[in-house]
A and B are shown apart, each in its own frame.
Chain A
Amino acid sequence: MTSLYKIGLAAVLACAPLLSAFANEKAEPDPAKSQYWPPIRQIMFGDREILDGKDVMRVYLSTRADDAATVPVAVKAQFDQTPSQYIKQVYLIVERNPSPAAGVFQFTPDSGRAQVETRLRFEDFSFVRAIAETNDGKLYMSSRWVKAAGGCSAPGDKNRIPENLVGTMKFRFADETVEANKPALVQLMIRHPNESALASDFDGSKTPQFVRHVAVTYAGKNVMSADVDFSISDNPSFRFYFVPEKEGELEAVVEDTHDKHYVHRELIVEGVPLPGG
């Protein structure tokens, strides 16, 4: 399995000589001139061509993050998933985070729509980059500049989760009921500290505990899976589409860096009220 954390650290090391040059940036810099991007791009995509993503995948988030610990973000495909044309995966990158690769989300034609909403941590003002890889192997990128709120807003958990609750999960459905064959939006919530590697600055003997893999299936078919990292906020949340049938089970399997596995299932029946309100 890909270790995003390693990608992240390697990228940071590659960036290190540049970091001391950071300037007082209140205005939006040019995404093409970012010093942070070339080494990350090289490590993650090598020399592969990256095309303009505006007709393939867009990234939505507010330009001024209200809370650097919890910044809602959405990446949305600009077309429906079909067996002949679909988005295979989406890379989500927070350029200036200590581990820039926040997540790689995999989709299938069964996903209905390639779309995921999650919440990110920001250590600094940063470009967010979403790179979609389509089934023909092409890469498309969209970028957004985000000013994280200043002052006392910073990434980090606000209230520690009791040990016995870590790994608890919940599904919240956007609608009260689902209809067979109609894409439905669901939010997967995971109770987890998603500790940043910065926590090991405090206790070096401890490996930070964060969620590294999430896999969601419906009726045994893959809906969305993701390799993720501690650029995702604590209590990770992922909101995405699946296509229900008359009846079927939605299942989430989550794995963290302490090799803990957590499973959550929900039976979904057309017309029967679902949790979320």
Chain B
Amino acid sequence: MNLIRICGSLLLAFAIACPAIAADAVANDFPLTEIAPGNFVHFGSQDERSPENMGDQANIGFIVGANCVAVVDPGGSLAVGQALRAALRKVTDKPICYVILTHMHPDHVFGAAAFRGDPAEVVGHANLPRALAMRARPYLKALQRDLGELAAGSEIVIPSVLVKDETALDLGGRIIRVKAWPPAHTDNDLTVADDLTGTLWVSDLLFIEHTPVVDGTITGFLRVLDALARLDVQHYVAGHGRSVAPWPQVLEPERAYLSLIVRETRAAIKRRETIEQATDEVGLSERAKWVNFDAFHRRNVITAYAELEWE
């Protein structure tokens, strides 16, 4: 596995022996759910990142083929990546041939170093290397701030296999399709489809319960939701949260939330309000419907305003 480290000397200074101990603690309580044959999911916590959850926030997992295994997101820290790997090894001893990074966000990618000893290619969206290069340092600083010394060993790993449109990966008797989407949640979103079981790993293009996050383009996000709704999906894995609602109805709460922000932000712009004014008032009627609303909602409005003021 080709690891390109952009971890600065800043973080290396903190590289001490704690992660192994922490990883054991996480691994002892790291449940997996086989949501469809060969598709194993670990559902992350909805809490904000803390030393207690070690960045175990995103829904992550793996798909097992006849020859090898593809990891779909290594999780939010080295400890989470190690716990996922340990749990995977209880399911199968097949080699791990791919580590897919569904997008740039720290809760999905920081565990990649746990798979360094595996013969795995790291797969990402064609826009991912640039996006990570610009954010690696602030991401590492924030991880250090939230996890303290438990952040040690977590690294940004740049993908070696880049997906521009769609790439098929052969796991042996099971071909998974990795699709690169136009800018939406971020400008580097991937989904992973296992056609054998009709399973779609949607990652953060779908938030359930957890406030959706827009770190790309809100109008692009809504367009991608339209395209996703047309897909034939039997089983799905959201980036955050879980639901028994059928596809595509499960997309509706997120679509309603994003549509409301677009509508209200456009109206605020029309009234010549500033970005600060809009941030104070747009979308508040959605507050009771979502977890972590205060941590993410205002930021979504800022992103929406900065985009929609150009219309």
Contacts and interface: CB of A to CB of B under 8 A. Distances in A.
Interface of A: 19-20, 22, 24-26, 66-68, 70, 72, 98, 117, 119, 123-125, 148-160, 170, 172-176, 189, 191, 196, 198-199, 201-203, 233, 235, 239, 276-277
The B interface, classified by DSSP as helix, strand, loop or mixed, is helix
14 contacts: A20-B13, A24-B148, A70-B302, A123-B138, A148-B138, A150-B145, A150-B146, A152-B139, A159-B307, A160-B183, A160-B187, A175-B272, A233-B306, A277-B271
B132 to A, nearest CB: 8
Given A151-B142, A199-B134, 17 more contacts: A25-B145, A72-B275, A72-B279, A123-B141, A150-B145, A152-B139, A155-B134, A155-B138, A156-B131, A158-B186, A158-B216, A172-B272, A189-B310, A201-B133, A202-B129, A276-B272, A277-B269
Nearest to B292: A151
A70 B141 contact: no
B303 interface: yes
Contacts of B272: 172-176, 276-277
A266 B199 CA distance: 54
A125 B138 CA distance: 10
A149 B299 contact: yes
B310 A70 contact: no
Nearest to A122: B138
A134 B133 CA distance: 40
Contacts of B216: 158-159
A149 B295 contact: yes
B10 A19 contact: yes
A154 to B, nearest CB: 4
Contacts of B136: 198, 201
B303 A70 contact: yes
Contacts of B44: none
Nearest to A65: B299
Given A156-B135, A158-B216, A201-B136, A20 B279 contact: no
B299 A159 contact: no
B309 interface: yes
Given A24-B145, A196-B134, A201-B136, A153 B299 contact: yes
A20 B9 contact: yes
A158 B219 CA distance: 13
A131 to B, nearest CB: 23
B299 A67 contact: yes
A75 B247 CA distance: 49
Q: Name the interface size band of chain B.
A: 35 or more
B248 interface: no
A151 B130 contact: no
A189 B308 CA distance: 12
Contact of A72 (B6, B145, B276, B310): B276
B298 interface: yes
Contacts of A66: 279, 298-299, 302
B242 interface: no
B179 to A, nearest CB: 19
Interface string B237-273: 0000000000000000000000000000000011110
A125 B142 CA distance: 9
B102 to A, nearest CB: 13
Contacts of A26: 145
A127 to B, nearest CB: 16
